[in-house]
Every structure is written in structure tokens, then in C-alpha cells.
A and B are shown apart, each in its own frame.
Chain A
Amino acid sequence: MELISRPFSEEDKTRLIGFFEKIKDLYPDVKSCVMPCLYAGQELVGFISKEVVEEVARLTGLSEAHVIELASFYTMFHLRPVGRYHIQICRTASCYFFGGKQLITFLKDYLGVDEGEVTADGMFSWELVECLGSCGTAPAVAINDRLFEFVSKDDLKNILDEIKIKLPNLNYSVFSNSFSEDFKKYPFSRILSNG
């Protein structure tokens, strides 16, 4: 797989190294830091660039080939840029048969791009994902690191329209282990809403 180059800023590189230094003693073996570091790199750059691979390999002592293999094995790592908002629609049974199918059709239409492609303005991309652990609050959609539950077609349209205007931060930062205050009117979890 051809890696895409996106040179680090000095600041980002320092942050990645600082992150590694902070976590490395948690594990008996520094190789265990590879996934956390990939998350950190992806948060800084937006995807797993050539430079992220090189730096993570250097820090963990793993080969670059190994790091690339991991980044391709785990679906949450992206080896090419995704949209600023990456939409993940659950396609597994308890969502699919209870509204998920309609969401997929709607989203394709709304964005006008196929699965895996990025809209021309770089704002959105989407993919089908497997069970998100929200089958009781189906259908479920995740946008970046935020989960949305009981999502109707109208809900999804409203959420996306609102994203376009407000540009909320929907990421879960691995540096601070926190979410931003944006979009708080949408609950982080609705798992208690039933039952």
C-alpha cells in the first residue's frame, strides 16, 4: 500500500513523542504502545500518514512494515484521509432491519459520494460498520468519535445540517481523554433510555 506523505509540524511531532513518553512505562513491553501511538498520530494528522508510520515505528522499535500491517488490520485507522466528519453507519442486523437500511440510502443520496469517498469540500466521508454495541437504541450512527442513537432519517439530516454550520469538535482526544463541549445537546449515550 502506497503511503501518503503529510510532514509533521514540529509541535505535532513533539506532542506524539510526549504522548509515547507518558504511556511507555505502563506496559512491560514498549511494543504495546503501537496502537495508542497510532491513535495519537491519527488525531494529530487526520490519518495514518507516512510520517506517522515512520515515527511510531521508531518509537516502538517495530518495523515500518509491521506498523503498516497493523494500521490496515484495524478498521479504525485510516491510511488515507477521510472527511473532516467521518460517518459510520451500523449495517448489522439489529440496526439494518430497524431503520438502518433507510439511513444508508438516505446518506448516500445526501452526500452524493460512495462509501469510502470524501466529498469534494473535504467535509464528509462515510462507511458501513459492524455492530456498534447500540442495538437496543438502534439504529446507531457514529460521527468521528461521537455516537448517535435512535437515529431517524430526519435526525441524521438535522445532525449533518447542523454540523455544516457549527463545525463541532466530535473527537475523543487521546491526549486528554476527553470530549469537547460541542454538540452536548446530543447525549453521549442513550443506553439508559430504554429498559
Chain B
Amino acid sequence: MVKENRLLLKNIHYDDQIDLLAYKSRGGFLGLQKALEKSPAEVIEIVKQSGLRGRGGAGFPTGMKWGFVPSNSGKPVYLVCNADESEPGTFKDRLLMERDPFLLIEGMMIACYAIGSKTGFIYIRGEYQYSHYILTKALQQAYSSKILGKDSELGIDIIIHRGAGAYICGEETALLNSLEGKKGQPRIKPPFPAVKGLYNCPTVINNVETLCAVTRIFEHGVEEYASLGTEKSRGTKLFSVSGIVNKPGVYEVELGVDMVEFLNDICGGLKADPKIVIPGGSSVPALKWSECDGVKLDYESLAAAGTMLGSGGFMVFGQDVSALELALNFSKFYAHESCGQCTPCREGAKWLVEILERVYSRKSYPGDLEKISSLCSQIAGHTICPFGDALVTPILSLMKKFPEDFNFDSFDFQLSSAT
């Protein structure tokens, strides 16, 4: 029987989440206090030891990212919290922001201290008006209690900035452009944000969940945090679960729990006969239910199963959902959200929708399916940002695993360079 391990989520059931004193009475700001007893370099070292990897999707080691910030650039350093959460199937950052806003604020303060930043931005998706409302209330309190602000002990400012409906602004460099008042289009890397980020200054970008985990690492001690999870995937992870489970919602487990047990013991089991599992948001390869046996929810095990942990947007679809219709649904998402600066992505995404529509309405031309695979290989790897790969991934995996749903019997198409 697997159980949740609510480390980040331990206080989400309190209704006084925007009351600073209540937060303190639950051990709030202990993590920050402990971090301040160390030097910034030591704080970075501790985050490295914790094994924490970015929870926004890419899984990059957080301590290492912080370590890339040059200490003597002579320019201000910025921290940016990525709260753009728009990956289909993902809603865990929303829960953290709505239910424990100070946890994020504290994590941002620790991060600012470590990287030598006086200014943190929270870039929050425009559709999260309510999360914005809660965070704004919490920030107001932090300012009036002089925990934040120029005249506070650390002199840190945190500014919350709203996006306005563009998935691509979740990509970190698109986010920076958007925050600078430009169109939210990704930049070519390098230079990496750690060196040349917001306003051309050194910048660290971290996901909401990552920063919340930082607070707990210091509050509980790095030994305790690092003892959770597996050897390579340390700590806990939030999963946003939707689809045919009996109890959809956000769950926090130690990395490495068994996927099927997770669904049965924690998510209340399945309502219907399962068919398709997507464990990490729409941009990761889909699994057939029969492939899920024995798969563990951690970076390595999911990679070995041919998919990814991604954002932890865990979707389960039943036998009544056709893989073709799902591929079409996702392809429309990507066609709508392409920022348009790379031709293969912009045009390819539109063509994919068109062809999938034809196949779906059973009006496809001979060779259409081959066209999809060749289009996909022209998109993946040929674009400025990973969106191009993300767009072909669900389509290719669904086609490969459920060829019967695409109205043809044997489908021997090669994944070629597309993956």
C-alpha cells in the first residue's frame, strides 16, 4: 500500500493560508532562518546535496543551476519564479500558490539569498486570477511586516507579473521576453539566462514547486529530504492527476513509487478500463496501459519505460477515447500555441492538424500517415525551442502504440530522428 508523503503539501488544508502569523506558527520562515545561518555558497552546496531537480518539466539540477550565476558580473541578479503552468494536465503549482503562498515566498527568499539577488519576479499565467489574488494578499502582508522590501533585513523585493494567455511563455526565455514587454518568443540559447537573462542580467528561473521544495529542504534539513525518493530521483514530487481515476487531484509522493499502486492506493483506483496513460503532461510520450506494469514514478524508471516525468501532469484515458482523437486534440493545442518564429513548428503544427482532421473524418488521402511521420521528423530537432519536439511527441507515440485507432492495420513507420 503506497501512501502520500505530504512534505510540500503538509499545510494546504488550512484556510488561513494568507495569514502570515498563522504561517509562522506552523514553522514558517524556519527554513529561511536556517539558510541565513549559512553563507550563500553553502546554501547552494546544500541544494546540490539535496539532489533536487527542477520540477517545471526539464528536471535540471537546481543547485547546479544556481551555481552558474557569476558572482561578480557587476550587474544585478534576478530570480524569476515560473508560475506560467499551462502544460495540459498540470495544476499542481496552482494548488501550492492558492493554498500555501508563503511557502513559495520563503523559497524565493532563500533562492535570492543564495544567488545574491535583491529582486524576484513571479510570472503567473493570466488565467490564474485567483492564485494571483492569494499571492498578492500574501505579498502585501510580507511587505507590511517588513519581511520583504527595500527596508527589510534582506532588502528583497518580489514582484508578481501576469501573463495573458500564451503557453509558450512557460518556456523560460520566452517568459523573460514577455516580462521585458516583448512578444513571448523563445530566445536562442546560449547565452543561458544564468549569464544573460532578464534585462541582460544574470537570472535564475525556477518552477513554483522547485522553490517550495527549497523551503522544505532547509526547514527539515538536507539529510531528511535527500533520504526521500530513490538514489537518483530524490525527494517528493507533486502529480496532477486527471482522467478516469476515481479521485482526481494533486498528490505528493516520494519519487519512485509504483505507478499502478499509486493509481489504486492514492488516486482511488480507476473508474473504467484504462487504455492510455500520459504521466508527465501532454508533451511526454504516451504509454499503453499494458506498458505500465512495474513502472515507477521517478525520472529514471519513466525514461526506461520510454516516457518522461515532465511536469507530473498525469492523465489516464479509458477505452472510449480514441488515440487518434487524442492526438488531434493535442495537435490543435500545439498549433494554437506555437509562437510562430520557426517555420517548421508554425507551419508543421497546422499541417498536422489538417492531416489528422482528414484521417479522423475518414477522408484521408493515401500516404497521409507517412506524411505525418515525415512532417514530424522535419519539425523535431529543427526548432529554436523544445516546443517543436513536444508537439510531435504525443502524436508519434500515439500513432506508434495505437495504430488500429488511426484506421490502418500495420504501421511500420520509423520514429527516425523524430524522437
Contacts and interface: CB of A to CB of B under 8 A. Distances in A.
Contacts, number: 169
A142 B125 CA distance: 14
B88 A136 contact: no
A26 B139 CA distance: 14
Interface residues of B, number: 65
A69 to B, nearest CB: 6
Contact of A136 (B161, B249, B325, B336): B249
A75 B126 CA distance: 10
Nearest to A61: B181
Nearest to A37: B181
A70 B320 CA distance: 40
B183 interface: yes
A160 interface: no
Contacts of A167: none
Contacts of A131: 86-90, 333
Contact of B133 (A38, A70, A77, A172): A172
Given A69-B183, A94-B242, A177-B136, A27 B159 contact: yes
A126 interface: no
Contacts of A94: 88-89, 242-243, 315
Interface in B98-141: 98-99, 119, 125-130, 132-133, 136
Main secondary structure of the interface of B (DSSP, over half): mixed
Contacts of B164: 35, 38-39, 74-77
Contacts of A14: none
Contacts of B157: 26
Contacts of B133: 172, 177-179, 188
Contact of B249 (A73, A178, A195): A195
Given A29-B180, A94-B88, A195-B241, A135 B247 contact: no
A11 to B, nearest CB: 24
Contacts of B94: 133-134, 191
Contact of B161 (A32, A98, A146, A192): A32
B128 A133 contact: yes
A194 B98 contact: no
Interface in A1-55: 26-29, 31-36, 38-39
B181 A32 contact: yes
Interface residues of A, number: 53
Given A97-B317, A194-B248, A35 B127 contact: no
Given A92-B329, A195-B241, A35 B178 contact: yes
A92 B88 contact: yes
- Max chain A Cβ within 10 angstroms of own Cβ: one of B13, B243, B251, B320: B243
Contacts of A172: 129-130, 132-133
B162 A35 contact: yes
B183 A177 contact: no
Contacts of B199: 28-29
Contacts of B267: 195
Interface string B225-243: 0000000000000001111
Interface in B173-197: 178-184
A74 B163 contact: yes
Contacts of B333: 92, 130-131
18 contacts: A28-B119, A32-B180, A70-B182, A74-B184, A93-B330, A97-B320, A98-B242, A131-B89, A131-B333, A133-B91, A135-B89, A136-B91, A136-B248, A136-B250, A146-B129, A172-B133, A191-B99, A195-B249
Q: In the A-B complex, list the 9 residue pairs whose CB atoms are closest, starting with the nearest.
A: A195-B249, A31-B181, A74-B164, A75-B165, A135-B242, A194-B249, A76-B165, A136-B248, A172-B129
Given A98-B242, A136-B242, A195-B249, 18 more contacts: A31-B180, A34-B181, A35-B178, A39-B164, A62-B181, A74-B164, A77-B164, A77-B165, A147-B129, A172-B130, A172-B133, A177-B133, A179-B130, A188-B133, A191-B91, A192-B99, A195-B247, A195-B267
